[in-house]
Structure 1
Amino acid sequence: MADGAEVKTYKVWHYGYHPRTLPCTADQANCDYLDALWEANDLGMVYSGILWLIAVAVLLIIAVGRRSLVSRRTRPFVFTSTSNKAEGESAPLTGTQLPTSTSPALVSRPLRAAAATARSYLLPDSIRFVFGRTTRLQVLILTILVVYLTIFSFVGMTYALWISPVKDHPDVYKEQNTAGIWSNRIGILAYAITPFSVLLASRESILSILTGVPYQAFNFLHRWVGYIILLQSVLHAIVWCVICIGLYGPQPEYAVNWVTKEYMVYGLCAMFLLLLMWFLSLGFMIRLTGFEFFRKTHYVLAMVYIGTCWGHWEFLGDWMLCGLLLWFFDRLARLVRMALLHHQYVGGDWGFHPAQAQLTLFPDADHGDVARLDFTFSQSPWHVGQHFYLCFPDSSVWQSHPFTPLSLPVLGKEGLVKHSYVFRAKGGETKKIAELAARRLAETQNAGSSPCPTTPVILQGPYGEHSTRGIDGGVNVLAIAGGTGITYVLPVLLETLQSQVDSALTSGRTDRAIQLIWMVRHRDDARWIESELECIKASAGKHNVQVTIFVTREQEGFGKANNTSADEKLSSDQKARQATDSSSTSSLPDTSGTTLRDIITYKNAAGSNGSVRRHPDVGTLVQDFVGETVQGPTVVFASGPGAMISELRKSVASLNSGKKVWRGNERWDVELREDNRLDW
């Protein structure tokens, strides 16, 4: 081509970056740098796509495998109310054990052995001062993600230094190296995992549907993916500041022109918002401002942050659009589910009707009052272990909190299902509800009226896992709870007892071990669940069930007289509740002739010197239970303080032995199913 001839150029589209003009007309060093830059960008987009393909493939494998295993192991038990008793009387339940084939030992034994081995290594807490009360399995998943991001932050790049003269500025040179290319790569990866962070925080979680893991279990990964995005963003900003302020020239003209560009203004805003979200998410800030403030500001800041990221680099706006769509879908799904649940025909009126909950208050000036809610609602039964978000319009329509129903999901007359909830009023919304209950109770007493006070309740849900999925008559059950954590484990025990007859016929076992261990501060705390304790008493004569209540804040001196007094108090409370609650919790027919004193053992945690041990050694309790089982695997259900859950994880992990399970000794197949919402 002759000198001075016009060079025809054309543009080549590159996903995630500017279209490139070819052929390159700059100096050779600059052209070589641009070749390396666009090539690394293309590979970065490929690596981002591979990351998502791997994630989708793993989720599908887990979903298919989970449904296959559950279909082999599960014998679903269906409860229906068949009583013809008069209104207000307890209705016995009947159940039907649906027969399914058990997986052959040739298949199930290796799987159970592998699961036991995995639990022995991956169930205990990891490095607690770094990750908190998080299992090694969760940390392993995080580590795999970090390793992938680290590897593909560095591979597929040309490592070199390119020095180019600056046009119209003699003796001024621009140093270009791989730092800018690397900075762009980590920026691409940060954009790519942003929708993943939103997905991990969704209540209407697709991940939960596919894996069966409750959405709250993904909270750990949501936090740490956020930390990763923060680190990537900080490094991205620092590197480009060094390049544009120190390596490119002429200065300061280049730096001033760079920092005032529109994409840079958006980038600085995004960086500020990300740092602000991180600061407000620190533990001391949440304690200072309150969880509701953190939650609402986090939503707003996150959405504005996504918008500024889109403005910063519109070529990667697809990732931000995915994040926004996931968030809006989650919010819309919540509203739609709530509207469908409450849009009913009540009292001749078709429309949105909240439930009317009866309030019962158990005063506790030292640790916060405990409130109990009881109501019936027209809906399909949920699964044991699932929970609802409850909103109390009398207090605030802008807040809702998760609570696990204490009652069994039994479909009664006229399609009504009984809900019962117990929670401690520590502060915030729960404290307002306790104060409301106290005022309503005082009003009814002053007016001389007998009905229990009520308050409207709006439900969202159910959410969470089916905690008894895969449990058949050959599995030993140990339920451990601390305080109001009883709401998670008690329905498991009630369902286990009510399905025991048919389960025994199916499995051929009559030596199944069933035990409830409950830790409370005071003996009177047992009044929270007097109706449910009556259900346990009704079936205790037929089944091998034990109930142990540890009292952690009272001194020794428990005798038979005290036990009798407690039984009488529980009995009187039970009668009072039945008189005011016509839809009392359904119970089994009482043919055992036993009393609560026959099945409940009270134990004091005080030492011989009078000092009070706050909590019993739950690890030893689990070991003793497993050691006394005759045969079969064991499932431990637990809900309570974080320290208790950590101790249980360690103990259960130590009891698992893949080698022994492989040899046919299923006693060493011990699983822990926990309610891990309590440490939020």
Structure 2
Amino acid sequence: MLDSRAHIQNFSEASAVEPHWGYADRIVPCTNDAGSCEYLDIVYHAHDVGILYTGIIWATIGAVLLVWAVGRQFARSQPSGVQLPIPAEAEARESGEGVQRKRSAFERLQRAGQSYARQYLLPDAARCIFGRVTRTQVLILVVLTGYLTVFSFAGIVYKQWITPVKKMPGVYNTRTSFGPWADRIGVIAYALTPLSILLSSRESILSLVTGLPYQSFNFLHRWLGYIIFAQSALHTIGWCVIELRLYQPQPTVGAEWIVQTYMIWGVVAMLVLVLLVLLSTPWAIRFTGYEVFRKAHYVLAMVYIGACWGHWEQLKVFLLPGLLVWFIDRGVRLVRSALLHYNFLPSGHMGFRAAPASVTVFKDEINGDVVRLDYDHVQDAWDVGQHFYLTFPESSIWQSHPFTPLSAPVFGADSQRHSYILRARKGETKKIAQLSKQRIERRDDHEASHEGLMADARLSVLMTGPYGERIMQHISADSNILCIAGGTGIAYVLPILLDFASQPQTPDRHMSLVWVVQRRHDIDWVAPELAILKRRCRNLRAGLHIYVTRASEEGDLAPPAVAEKAGVRDCANEISPAASSDSSSSASISSALSVHGVSKSELGLDHVQARPDLEVVVRDFVAGTVRGGTNVFASGPGSMISDLRRIVAGANRGDKVWRGDDRWDVRLTCDDRLEW
């Protein structure tokens, strides 16, 4: 029983007490004046209806997730269509028309609907407000906000009562529906707390149900936090106006109200929530650093939940699940890391052991050094597209960062090869690069340095994972693959191509890689993997295109005639390059060896000294396909991802997909996480 929230009730006059879930008990019958009794009727009725609405909100969320899960299973069980007979296929090829599959009306409707949705919902929304997120996510946010707004106002009788103050003739209280409304939005804010924590979990239950990677929910987590802040602020403002202005006499009522225990905890909760919002802004994260933001966010979130518990204990049913979800998430992370590293030790016994990685540092004084990690680890294969969180105990055990292996997993193998590349700009990655360079320098192995490269350092690595979407499950048998990467984003798309390179090739499948780097030496980061692609995948022999944007600054590229002699084919007919530099460095293109012993002449890659026109790249690729849709995989700077969303959206034609032309069914899967 909360005596401090007994309102205007006198428990000494109670003949019966009526319990109300999540609220103070009510005295019946009411012994106050008629206006006060009517006001109490509305207060308790509005609260009871509000509790019912929170149940409806959670039932709706559960129903959406259930329908989503059933729909995923139903979509997987549908046949992929019937291929045309061989004579019809040959005739279509001779006529120059794309060879399509005969699909059922339901499947064509499904594909056409998805194509239409991508056409209108894939591009970025208002970037100045929401950042680089798709219209789909903003639409979900708008629907959720509208849904909550309806429940914030429905079921409340809006009225005003002027009631006398006992034992103070001529003094009156103003009682309005402002109080029940302020209580309603406070209850909804409590009810949304576990949802906010669910949206932020790495070991995400939502990912298991929907199949979406946990990072897909970060936008909704952030904006749901803003909604909770707005609700809490309005709840606070509402009761401040009521207690400090409408209730009389003042300032006596206000002074007695603000020092009550439940109000002190309410003030603490509001102040902590303000700090949570301020520290989560992009400006604060840039100023304090991501790791400071992350750890402060954890601590403040726990303090906020505790303060909310102290403010209104009756609603702890919404707070306890949030705490449990958070602790389960942290516990599962620790268990997964322990199991991943519980292997045979050199002594022959079983125990916890970090993975010893070989480190190669590619020097870059302007943009930050690039570090490559390579090591073998005994574990099961992960799925292509997934990533691991890496911790470097020799630098700090309190930080972990997400990185995608650029090596392809091998199913059935006893151990897996891990290879990562990371840009060392600042923070933990810069410390790793500096530590590696110091170890190399101590060895005095000057011969290991070549063209800005330092090799043969050792570093311990702890892993947690894998996490992320299983992107290969969404690729149909006749899909065409276009991979676009910028800089270290090559780590996300390379495993996709390596996986296809290890499988029997579909004759009509088109695959291509477009990689944008700043300098020619950047190719050394992944030279072994590029060589594997050239050897194994025939469909990629004319599909590896590397664009060097700053070649003219270094004299990296040779003119067409010299490049031809070096074994590098000219791509001027595809996209007009900028004026090439002097040919004095052409010999290095064919003879220089990377640290892995792979010469660039062996790769036989196309080098273009220009930035690619992504719209032309996507349009020409789609137009050149024979059958099936196109899956575009991309990773790189935010500006590149935004451009690709707009371009891929424009390449979709739902009407043509409905008529059976799958070439206009173009999908985009991108990885624009913090690691890039």
Q: Which amino acid aligns with 1:385?
A: G
Q: Which amino acid aligns with 1:41?
A: H
Residue of structure 2 in register with 1:612 after alignment: none
State the secondary structure of the residue aligned to 2:543.
strand
State the secondary structure of the residue aligned to 1:333.
helix
Q: Matches of 1:221 and 1:572 in 2, distance apart?
A: 44
**Cα drift, residue 297 of structure 1:** 0.5
Contact between 2:511 and 2:539, CA under 8 Å: does it hold in 1? no
State the secondary structure of the residue aligned to 1:389.
strand
Q: Which residues of 2 match residues 191-230 of structure 1 at below 5 A?
A: 191-230=190-229
Q: Which amino acid aligns with 2:405?
A: P
**How many positions carry a matched residue from both structures?**
614
Q: Which amino acid aligns with 1:518?
A: W
- The equivalent position to 1:601 in structure 2, one of 597, 600, 606, is 606
Q: Which runs of 5+ in 1 are unaligned?
A: 1-5, 76-101, 505-509, 578-593, 606-614
Q: Which amino acid aligns with 1:602?
A: H
State the secondary structure of the residue aligned to 1:21.
strand
Q: Which residues of 2 match residues 229-628 of structure 1 at below 5 A?
A: 229-347=228-346, 348-411=348-411, 415-446=414-445, 452-501=456-505, 504=506, 510-541=507-538, 546-555=543-552, 557-559=557-559, 561-562=562-563, 564=567, 565=587, 568-569=590-591, 571=593, 573-575=595-597, 595-597=602-604, 600-605=605-610, 615-628=611-624
Residue of structure 1 in register with 2:45 after alignment: 39
**Cα drift, residue 135 of structure 1:** 0.4
Contact between 2:405 and 2:419, CA under 8 Å: does it hold in 1? yes
Q: Which amino acid aligns with 1:498?
A: S
Q: Segments of 4+ in structure 1 off by > 6 A?
A: 447-451
Q: Matches of 2:252 and 2:594 in 1, distance apart?
A: 85
1:621–1:566: structure 2 CA closer, same or farther, 3 Å change rule? farther
TM-score by length of 1: 0.87
Contact between 1:513 and 1:544, CA under 8 Å: does it hold in 2? no
TM-score by length of 2: 0.87
State the secondary structure of the residue aligned to 1:157.
coil
Q: Matches of 1:377 and 1:270 in 2, distance apart?
A: 46
Q: Deviations over 1:614-671 (max 9, x none)?
A: x432222111211221221000000000000000000100111111100000011000
State the secondary structure of the residue aligned to 1:574.
coil
Q: Which runs of 5+ in 2 are unaligned?
A: 1-11, 82-100, 450-454, 568-586
Q: Matches of 2:509 and 2:411 in 1, distance apart?
A: 28
Q: Deviations over 1:351-378 (max 9, x none)?
A: 1101000001100011000000000101
Seq. identity, %:
49
Highest RCO, 1 vs 2 (Cα 8 Å, sep ≥ 6): 1
- Is residue 658 from structure 1 mapped to residue 651 from structure 2 by the alignment? no
Q: Which amino acid aligns with 1:601?
A: D
Q: Which amino acid aligns with 1:33?
A: Y
Deviates more, 1:267-276 or 1:616-625: 616-625
Q: How big is the alpha-carbon RMSD for the aligned residues of Structure 1 and Structure 2?
A: 2.2
- The equivalent position to 1:12 in structure 2, one of 12, 18, 25, is 18
Contact between 2:102 and 2:660, CA under 8 Å: does it hold in 1? no
Q: Deviations over 1:503-555 (max 9, x none)?
A: x2xxxxx2211000000000110000011011111124466650111111222
**Cα drift, residue 481 of structure 1:** 0.3
**Cα drift, residue 568 of structure 1:** 3.7
Q: Matches of 1:146 and 1:333 in 2, distance apart?
A: 32
Contact between 2:403 and 2:675, CA under 8 Å: does it hold in 1? no
Q: Deviations over 1:372-410 (max 9, x none)?
A: 000010111000000000000010000000000000011
1:279–1:325: structure 2 CA closer, same or farther, 3 Å change rule? same
Q: Which amino acid aligns with 2:503?
A: S
Deviates more, 1:17-26 or 1:178-187: 17-26
**Cα drift, residue 16 of structure 1:** 1.5
State the secondary structure of the residue aligned to 2:626.
coil
**Cα drift, residue 576 of structure 1:** 7.5
- Is residue 677 from structure 1 mapped to residue 669 from structure 2 by the alignment? no
Q: Deviations over 1:209-260 (max 9, x none)?
A: 1111111111111110011111111111111111111110111110000000
Q: Deviations over 1:448-487 (max 9, x none)?
A: 9999221110000000001221313300000000000000
**Cα drift, residue 679 of structure 1:** 7.9
Contact between 1:191 and 1:319, CA under 8 Å: does it hold in 2? yes
State the secondary structure of the residue aligned to 1:250.
coil
Deviates more, 1:346-355 or 1:476-485: 346-355
Contact between 2:385 and 2:470, CA under 8 Å: does it hold in 1? yes
Q: Matches of 1:543 and 1:632 in 2, distance apart?
A: 18
1:280–1:74: structure 2 CA closer, same or farther, 3 Å change rule? farther
Q: Which amino acid aligns with 2:550?
A: R
Contact between 1:640 and 1:678, CA under 8 Å: does it hold in 2? no
State the secondary structure of the residue aligned to 1:524.
helix
**Cα drift, residue 567 of structure 1:** 5.4
Contact between 1:642 and 1:678, CA under 8 Å: does it hold in 2? no
Residue of structure 2 in register with 1:65 after alignment: 71
Q: Which residues of 2 match residues 37-186 of structure 1 at below 5 A?
A: 37-72=43-78, 105-186=104-185
Residue of structure 2 in register with 1:93 after alignment: none
**Cα drift, residue 285 of structure 1:** 1.5
- The equivalent position to 2:34 in structure 1, one of 28, 31, 39, is 28
1:648–1:449: structure 2 CA closer, same or farther, 3 Å change rule? closer
State the secondary structure of the residue aligned to 1:519.
strand
Contact between 2:401 and 2:675, CA under 8 Å: does it hold in 1? no
1:220–1:648: structure 2 CA closer, same or farther, 3 Å change rule? same
1:679–1:352: structure 2 CA closer, same or farther, 3 Å change rule? closer
Q: Which amino acid aligns with 2:511?
A: I
**Cα drift, residue 56 of structure 1:** 1.1
Q: Matches of 2:38 and 2:478 in 1, distance apart?
A: 69
**Cα drift, residue 71 of structure 1:** 4.4
Q: Matches of 2:188 and 2:102 in 1, distance apart?
A: 43
1:103–1:210: structure 2 CA closer, same or farther, 3 Å change rule? farther
1:572–1:554: structure 2 CA closer, same or farther, 3 Å change rule? closer
1:389–1:634: structure 2 CA closer, same or farther, 3 Å change rule? same
1:360–1:576: structure 2 CA closer, same or farther, 3 Å change rule? farther
State the secondary structure of the residue aligned to 1:126.
coil
Q: Matches of 2:21 and 2:424 in 1, distance apart?
A: 53
State the secondary structure of the residue aligned to 2:371.
strand
